[in-house]
Amino acid sequence: MTLNLSLRTKILSLTLLLIASFSIITGTYVKTRVTSHLTEEVLKRGTSIAKHLAEVSADAVIQRDLIHLKLMVENAQQTETDISYIFITSPSGKLVLAHSFGESFPVNLLEVHTLTPRQESSIKALTLQGQTTYDILLPILDRRGGYLHLGISGEPVQQAITQVTNQALLFLLGLTIIAMLIAIPVSRTITRPIASLQHAVEALKQGDRDLRVEIAQRDEIGLLGEAFNELVKNLKDVENRLASQRNFLEVLLDNIPSPVFYKDLQKRMLGCNRAYARFIGLPIEEVIGKQPDDMHPLDAARLHISKDDELIRGGGVVSYEFTFQVDEERLQTYLCHKTLFESADDKPAGIIGVIQDITQQREADRLKSEFVSTMAHEFQTPLATILGYSELINDHLIKGKQREEAQHLIIDKAEYLSHMVSELLDLSRVEAGRDIRLNLEPCDVNEAVAEVVNSFHDRTPSHQFTYNLSEASVVIAADKPRVSQVLENILSNAVKYSPGGSKIQVSVQQGDGRCQVGVTDTGIGMTPRQVSGMFEKFYRADSSNTAPPGTGIGLFISKSIIKAHHGHIWAESEPGVGTTVSFAIPFNQPKPGDL
């Protein structure tokens, strides 16, 4: 875990750490040296006393004057307060000749240590009654008289060490206080200009270009503050120049109604006008810095990048068309013109482009061409039939039953042409913003559906037509011919896009205050994109030369008729499975005053 400490805290912490380290090292060193020195002095003194006692006890040992030896060791112990005990053993070390322990002698002291043949003395540290005691072993009369053990206490040494340690701690505490009293103002002196510089940097990040760092001393920090002040001054001058240029470009670009943009040679956006921001659907500040693949689908981004590369390689002007998905339903077509702009050294610095919306122009051209082609084809076939059979009848080349069949065929084709003209009139009325005229009267939907389906059954024996009518009579306020026209358009499309012998079913349902009619086929079906456009003007799911005949306005007119009835029409389809087209009309039509 990282600790976010201020510089002043770090300085004070470092000072305390150094003092603590110095105190520990110094205390350890002093304690070790003092302990070693005092212990050495105690052992020298104890050894001197032991040697003296060994010399003065030699005669009494030889004479085995045990009373004299006991008095001598007791008197020596009482004379020297730091002597813990004294005892004398025989040359074998197993027999105690005299001791200062009183009535009970601790026999375990006999096993503490012995002298090797080459040793003249031996010292062993013991712990008696929780205190350190040094057992000094010396021979008496060159081991022939026995051995003398003298135990001298190490407690004075410990007391002296404790006293020295306490004094050292008091000294180091005073040193720490003095060091902190010095470190606090020194750290403040160091951190104050740094804190001032930090405050200035934060203000600069927030956009304040007027704040300056006060220079108290011309040391390293002071020089850094001067450099910062100069940097802010230069930054402000540069920002003013850039702001002036940016304002000029913004005024220039924002007055252009077409989307305009400019970017560097790495294809990063440098700026744009408001029209381009609306075109992309992002604020201007979010557009800056983006690449083509950040703003466009992958295919469109690749097109823009390839055209940028072409322009960078060849220069001049590059113009091309591209499409842009404005939303889920609208696909717009645009014409983009791009050229290079240069830097002050006359080298290419970036790309500037202008976008023109040509959706309506291209759509108008497409619809015009498609409609003319479709209508020419739709009119040519029945007219050729009418003209051909009329000539045969006029030249009396066919007679009898063939003549009657030809007359019926001419009438059918003429009615088909009349139907197309009626649709064109309805189309012109809808385009002019006028509603389709309705003659509302009680309409039995079951009856209307049965009439249209039976008519198709007679005219199109290649398909199987069935209908599932509501058990109860379904009567709505509607224009029966117009409702029949909608149903005929839907059935006509079902026949066109269903194979011969397939089944087409019509159903009638009622509920939620409305009557619903559905036509289901088992034809080729449609994709979701085709379903979304099937009720648009001139739309044809298949506009190839091998497509079924049609003008592409039947369902558009049907949608207008259902809308005039305040109803709703929709479709559900799956490629390779079939299509269901349904429309619903409310039972009670609102009065004109309620609209």
- Write down the pLDDT at residue 585: 92
Name the superfamily (CATH) of residues 256-357: PAS domain (3.30.450.20)
Percentage with pLDDT > 90 across the chain: 13
- Write down the pLDDT at residue 1: 46
- Write down the pLDDT at residue 240: 76
Tell me the C-alpha distance between 232 and 245, whole Å: 20
Confidence class for position 571, pLDDT limits 50, 70, 90: very high
Distances from the Cα of 363 to the Cα of 327, 360, 368, 433, angstroms: 17, 5, 8, 20
Q: Which fold has domain 7-162?
A: Beta-Lactamase (3.30.450)
Confidence class for position 371, pLDDT limits 50, 70, 90: low
- Residue range 363-430, CATH number: 1.10.287.130
Helix (H, G, I), strand (E, B) or coil at 353: strand
- Name the residue ranges covered by the structural domains of the chain: 7-162, 256-357, 363-430, 436-594
Residues 216 and 193: beta-carbon distance below 8 Å:
yes
What tokens appear for 383 in the block? Answer: 């007219």
Q: Which fold has domain 436-594?
A: Heat Shock Protein 90 (3.30.565)
Highest-scoring range by mean pLDDT, 94-98, 248-252, 394-398, 580-584: 580-584
Tell me the C-alpha distance between 552 and 94, whole Å: 133
Confidence class for position 377, pLDDT limits 50, 70, 90: low
Confidence class for position 3, pLDDT limits 50, 70, 90: low
Please enumerate in sequence order all residues whose Cβ is within 8 A of that of 191, keeping only pairs 6 or more positions apart, or say none.
Answer: 6, 7, 8, 11
- Write down the pLDDT at residue 579: 92
Tell me the C-alpha distance between 428 and 290, whole Å: 46
Q: What is the mean pLDDT of residues 479-488?
A: 88
Highest-scoring range by mean pLDDT, 105-109, 227-231, 291-295, 402-406: 291-295
Residue-wise pLDDT for 286-333, tens only, equals 889 999 888 888 888 899 999 999 999 988 999 998 887 766 667 788
Q: Do domains 256-357 and 363-430 have the same CATH topology?
A: no
Mean pLDDT over each residue of the chain, to the nearest integer? 81
- Write down the pLDDT at residue 546: 44
Residues 343 and 349: beta-carbon distance below 8 Å:
yes
Give the predicted TM-score (pTM) of the model.
0.41
Please determine, for residue 255, whether its predicted confidence score (pLDDT) is greater than 90: no
Tell me the C-alpha distance between 569 and 515, whole Å: 12
Across 112-126, 336-350, 449-463, 547-561, least confident range? 547-561
Across 101-115, 269-283, 481-495, least confident range? 101-115
Tell me the C-alpha distance between 261 and 353, whole Å: 5
Residue-wise pLDDT for 71-126, tens only, equals 888 888 888 888 888 888 888 888 888 888 887 888 888 888 888 888 888 889 88
